[in-house]
Amino acid sequence: MNIAVIGTGYVGLVTGSVFADMGNDVICVDKVKSRIRQLTQGKVPIYEPGLEEMILRNLDEKRLSFTTDLHTAVTKSDVIFIAVGTPPKDNGETDLSQVEKVAEGIGKSINAYKVIVNKSTVPVGTGNLVRNIIDRVKKDSMKFDVVSNPEFLREGSAIFDTLSPDRIVIGAPNRQVAMILLELYSSLGCPMLITDVESAELIKYASNAFLAMKISFANAIADLCERTGADVSQVINGMGYDHRIGKHHLQPGLGYGGSCFPKDVDSLIQTSRKFGYDFRLLQSVVDINKERCVTFVQKIGKALGDLEGKTFAILGLAFKPDTDDMREAKSIEVIEQILLHRGKVRAYDPAAMENAKRIFGNRIHYSRNAYDAARGTDALVVLTEWREFKLLNLEKICHSMKQPYIFDGRNLYNFEKNRRLGFHYYGIGRSVNSHH
């Protein structure tokens, strides 16, 4: 099948590469010339395990190409995926300006029947918006259909998630157009759900909002555990065995971040208001999430007496492991709070150091590894649960520190083991926080 993917951000790059790997001819389009030049040379601007190898393989086999020429990509393709950014506005609404611009470009270039697929995360009603824009600018006789096909990719495992999804959701205006998408995905052998366009648009937001709610619930329980003497890891473990609840996304910590959950929850709240519904439950989810880092830094300040003049080793800058993405990362909030209170920061992350430099500049020190970061510091602060951090020689780190404090924002380490090594250990939602 001839496919165009418009937008070479996270979703567009993964989608286009996987479709090419499945044997389709794929043209990926982006307006940023430097990005297209990079990609044509096989240089991938984002960190995602397995993606660079897949792009290089399909470039070599001529199934994948990159261009800034939207018109040519549209005319050569049967199915056109819109995968551009939909960032939040200041009020939490979704900014659809990039989607609108692409829809206009498609409409002006359409030369035969096309299936236009919204892959970007967009609010209910965007399918109609795209259809109306294309209708307004296209040549009279050209027919097309607009489909919603939301993505459910997790950064760090996006290739796996695309090839082995829990489900494929196809929101289509009729069964005939749905069959085109079913054919495209048929080799994946996963459940496929055909819905109307509006339901498909809402499925993505409802899914992410529910997962964010589980995270905020776990954090609320963690706060209660610290007050009652319970251990949140035991409470969550006991809950997770119930198949109606499950263990996924029920981990307490510093709250949700990244490019999806914060903006999708806010967008669903704003969409609900637009349709006259006050989604108070989701507003509480947001409020709990906003408190996490403030409470965490207050805990650090209380334990150390003061942050001023203290040096902190920050382990983890990306919003989650196996990615270099720092969008809405909790590290930003925590580091800014430490700097505000005149503390000093030595930071290390396996993948996100370059992105961190764009945010913090020379306000913090960038370390070669975790051991370098910890040397001579007053406290070790764990913000991202990278696998390599689980395997550190903590005894070596303890001896190299000025003061042996660990503030574990991801409950990565065992309390008893750390106490035996000589650490003052503070986790999230653990009754042992006060037992020193």
Q: For residue range 357-372, list pLDDT tens digits in order.
A: 999 999 999 999 999 9
pLDDT of residue 432: 54
Go through 315-339 and write b for each residue having 16 or more CB atoms within 10 A of its CB, e for each that does not.
Answer: bbbbbbbbbbbbbbbbbbbbbbbbb
Overall average pLDDT of the 322-342 stretch: 95
pLDDT of residue 434: 43
DSSP track, 227-290: HHT--HHHHHHHHHTSTTT-STT---SS---TTTHHHHHHHHHHHHHHTT---HHHHHHHHHHH
- Confidence tier at 155 by pLDDT (50, 70, 90): confident
What are the residue numbers of the active site?
A: 260
**pTM for the complete prediction?**
0.91
Q: Per the structure block, which two tokens stand in for 288? A: 């709990």
Q: Rounded CA gap, 320 and 339, in Å? A: 22
Overall average pLDDT of the 17-40 stretch: 96
Greater confidence (433 vs 176) lies with: 176
- Confidence tier at 214 by pLDDT (50, 70, 90): very high
pLDDT of residue 269: 97
Residues of the chain above pLDDT 90, percent: 92
Q: Rounded CA gap, 157 and 88, in Å? A: 24
pLDDT tens by residue, 50-79: 999 999 999 999 999 999 999 999 999 999
Please name which of 402, 412, 422 lies closest in space to residue 346, comparing C-alpha atoms: 402
- Confidence tier at 431 by pLDDT (50, 70, 90): low
Please name which of 251, 243, 206 lies closest in space to residue 411, comparing C-alpha atoms: 251
Looking at residue 335, its amino acid is I
| Residue carrying the six token digits 């800034």 | 68
**Is pLDDT at 435 greater than 60 in this prediction?**
no
Q: 379 forms bridges with which residues in the sheet?
A: 312
**Is pLDDT at 1 greater than 70 in this prediction?**
yes
Cβ neighbours around 25 below 10 Å, total:
18
Q: Rounded CA gap, 319 and 351, in Å? A: 11
Q: Rounded CA gap, 159 and 182, in Å? A: 19
| Residue carrying the six token digits 């967009």 | 122
**What's the maximum distance between 2 C-alpha atoms anywhere in the chain?**
77
**Is pLDDT at 237 greater than 90 in this prediction?**
yes
Q: Per the structure block, which two tokens stand in for 72? A: 């040519």
